[in-house]
Structures are given as structure tokens and as C-alpha cells.
Amino acid sequence: MNRQSTTMKRLYEELKRIFRGYTKITSSICKRLKELNFTLVIGRKHCKVYYQNNFEHSVTIAKTPSDWRAGMNAASGLMALTAYNVDVVAA
């Protein structure tokens, strides 16, 4: 396994840990995402998340989701966002 895929796997595990049991955006979630180079723009009902200051692509997360899988869906969406940014940088 190469270094990039190992790093991505660790990032995905950390995102799953952050969003496990997700019921709302908290200050600790915001802080942990910022530590992972995500930028959050918090609106009235949703939060837009960007990765590494790439404001062309984002993931929108509900501030108070109604679905029990919202946290894992958010983690998957953020992981796809990071994978996209890695591909853009590598190209």
C-alpha cells in the first residue's frame, strides 16, 4: 500500500470517528474538521465544507439532520471531496 492511500485511509477513519452519532454541528466537530484542512461556511440551516481552500467544490451538510445515517453520509461526501482534490493536485 502506498503512502497516499494509507493517508487517505487514516483520513477516512478520522472522518468516520468525527461524524459517528452525528446529530448537529458542534464546535468540536468544526474544530476537528479545521485541523484536517477543511473550511466550513455555516449558514442558517446548512454548512458548506471545502477542502484545502478549494472553493470550487464543496459538500453541503445539514446542521440538524433528520436521518440517522447523515453522519456517515457526510463522512463519505467529505472523503470524495478529498479524493477529488488529490486527483486535481496530482494532474
**Tens-place pLDDT, residues 32-85:** 999 999 999 999 999 999 998 889 899 999 999 999 999 999 999 999 998 776
Q: What separation in angstroms does the CA of 31 have from each of 23, 36, 87?
A: 16, 9, 26
For residue 7, the cross-strand partners are none
Provide the grid cell at 13: 477513519
pLDDT at 3: 72
- pTM (2 d.p.): 0.84
Long-range contact set of residues 1-5: C-beta below 8 Å, sequence gap at least 24 = 4/86
**Tens-place pLDDT, residues 1-46:** 567 778 888 999 999 999 999 999 999 999 999 999 999 999 999 9
* E runs forming strands in 1-91: 38-42, 46-51, 54-62
Residues 6+ positions from 39 with CB-CB distance below 8 Å: 49, 50, 51, 53, 55
pLDDT at 90: 46
